[in-house]
Amino acid sequence: MSNFDEITKVLQENNNFLITSHINLDGDGIGSELALYFILKKLHKKAIILNQNRLPKLYDFLPDSDKVHYLEDNCINPKNIDVVIALDCSNIKRIGKTYEIFKNIKTIINIDHHKSNENYGSLNYVDSSASSVGEIIYELINFIDSDLLDDKISTCLFTAIITDTGSFRYSNVSSKTFEIASHLTCHRIKPHLIANNIYNRNTYSGLKLLGEALLTLEINESGCVSWLTITRKMLNDTNANDEEIEGIIDIATTLNNVEISILFRETKDNKIKVSFRSKGNFDVNKFAGKFKGGGHPNAAGCLCSGKLDEIKENVLSELFGDIKYLGYEN
Ligand code: 5GP
Ligand code: MN
């Protein structure tokens, strides 16, 4: 694995950077991208953020969020890029179509916290003990020069950390996570305002969709697995968009005695996205791997082709087999 010394050298010796993250951008992806963008600007470098998809509205409160580009902007000339930095992407597929733009660029810095990372970069920094890539970027900034940290960067890193830890509730939280969050709070950020922006700006259509989704809630006989389903019809009927699905699976996870929760949803391009969450020791990253997906031990996903009912049946019967084998039903 590369170290901060090597990464810092590449940052110092080059001038034009492209920063990217994964499809279905989340708080860790965008928070880490913007934090690194601000650092590069402070180091007098040219940096551009490019993701496959448009920034979810949820993150429009972040500083300079209007400067985040997406593929259809057509704003990138690969000839003008020296270095690509991919954040929070365990493999090239997760980068999405953006990869086509820079696949011929030699220097790719891969910074991630997924255990399953495939080390696709020319430099790879993967720390699966970090709660979020935000935590790693914080450490990288401290390594380069701790005076670089300011309120804008702290807001982005705090967002990355709270979203990837479920507001400090997941098992990926360590004493280091709290130390970093505490240090970020010294930089005039207001954690409650960040939390309000992320959690208290639901839309009417989003809450209606949540209501529809909850009507589909099912549990297995022993009550340790719960699942929800969201169809295109439900999105159409409630006037909600795909971004508003974010967070709905977490409600299914709150059920007492539930160890594993699942959300099955139809995507715009006729695929079925399956999200998994685990409250205990069941490793959903490993389980999602059976369907060519991945993620973390407590939060993972996969994308399947086929009919919704058939995929539900396949995934659930595979899961019921596993939990029986592992003794969850006793
Ligand atoms: P979500 O269910 O919120 O989309 O994703 C939860 C976690 O699973 C994220 O950390 C993400 O990296 C991972 N994940 C989601 N979908 C996929 C997928 O199709 N493939 C892989 N490798 N990881 C995924
Ligand atoms: Mn992450």
Domain residue ranges in the chain: 4-199, 205-326
Nearest-CA residue for ligand 1 atom 20 is 293
Nearest-CA residue for ligand 1 atom 9 is 295
| 156 contacts 31 by C-beta, under 8 angstroms | yes
Q: What is the pLDDT, as a whole number, of residue 220?
A: 97
Q: Is 219 helix (H, G, I), strand (E, B) or coil?
A: strand
pTM check: above 0.85 = yes
Question: What distance in angstroms lies between residue 28's CA and the mean position of ligand 2's atoms?
Answer: 5
Q: What is each CA distance from 324 to 111, 226, 264, 320, in whole angstroms?
A: 37, 15, 22, 6
Query: 4-199 and 205-326 share one CATH topology?
Result: no
Ranges of residues in the chain with a pLDDT under 50 are none
Nearest-CA residue for ligand 1 atom 23 is 294
DSSP 54: P
Q: Is residue 29 lining ligand 1, measured as CB closer than 6 Å?
A: no
The per-residue pLDDT for range 157-190, each reduced to its tens digit, is 999 999 999 999 999 999 999 999 999 999 889 9
Helix (H) or strand (E) holding 25: none
Nearest-CA residue for ligand 1 atom 13 is 295
The per-residue pLDDT for range 277-323, each reduced to its tens digit, is 999 899 999 999 999 999 999 999 999 999 999 999 999 999 999 99
Q: Letter for the amino acid at 300? A: A
Measured from the Cα of 28, ligand 1's closest atom is 10
Q: Letter for the amino acid at 32? A: S
Ligand nearest to the CA of 285: 1
Strands, E assignment, the chain = 16-20, 46-51, 68-70, 83-87, 107-112, 123-126, 218-219, 225-230, 260-266, 272-278, 294-295, 299-304
CATH superfamily, with its number, for domain 4-199: inorganic pyrophosphatase (n-terminal core) (3.90.1640.10)
Task: Name the residue of 230, 263, 275, 290 whose CB sits within 8 Å of the most ligand 1 atoms, as the mutation to test its pocket.
Answer: 275
DSSP 56: P
Nearest-CA residue for ligand 1 atom 19 is 302
Measured from the Cα of 22, ligand 1's closest atom is 12
Ligand nearest to the CA of 265: 1
Q: What is the pLDDT, as a whole number, of residue 325?
A: 83
| CATH architecture label of 205-326 | Roll (3.10)
Q: Is residue 293 lining ligand 1, measured as CB closer than 6 Å?
A: yes
Nearest-CA residue for ligand 1 atom 11 is 295
Tokens representing 150 are 């300011």
DSSP for 235-263, written as a single string:
HHHHT--GGGGTTHHHHHHTSTT--EEEE
The CA-to-CA distance between both ends of the chain, in Å, stands at: 42
